[in-house]
Amino acid sequence: MRQWAEGMAMALLCCDTRINVFKTHETDPTHFSVQNAPDLVLRKSNAHILGINKRGWTKFQQMNDLYQKYSHASVLSLASMFKMDTDGGIIIGSEFDNGKISAYEKEIKRRISACSLLIDTVAILKIHLLQKN
């Protein structure tokens, strides 16, 4: 999810030449952080140029922040190896675990919610890419 958020932010920042993201990168590529791209979208001038709904983008960033915590190995990622629908056991290979259905449902709802926040963003991106600036 983190890579998707950063990729979407970079696409927005690159779609309008008034933002100068290419020039900023070329000036000092070692100090240009793609990880900060979602924050750059919300800068007042950038958000204005792009026509970004700040409240919607902030909600999307909050969702991304949640996933940022889990983008590396953690207790939650280790839990995927343990059977939750029995009194124990380890999953070797792939196996569906009925004990995780509730967690799967929550995860799918979170991802759908994150995607729905970006529908307008994709429309904005399309507008900027089709116009000459």
Residue range 108-118, pLDDT digits in tens:
887 787 777 67
Mean pLDDT of 61-83: 71
**pTM for this model (two decimals):** 0.65
Which residues constitute the domain of residue 80? 2-130
Max CA distance (Å), the chain? 62
pLDDT at 46: 92
CA 21 – CA 83 distance, rounded (Å): 47
CA 14 – CA 78 distance, rounded (Å): 37
Structural domains of the chain, count? 1
Collapsing DSSP to helix, strand or coil, 90 comes out as strand
Give the tokens for residue 117: 């926040």
Collapsing DSSP to helix, strand or coil, 111 comes out as helix
CA 29 – CA 26 distance, rounded (Å): 6
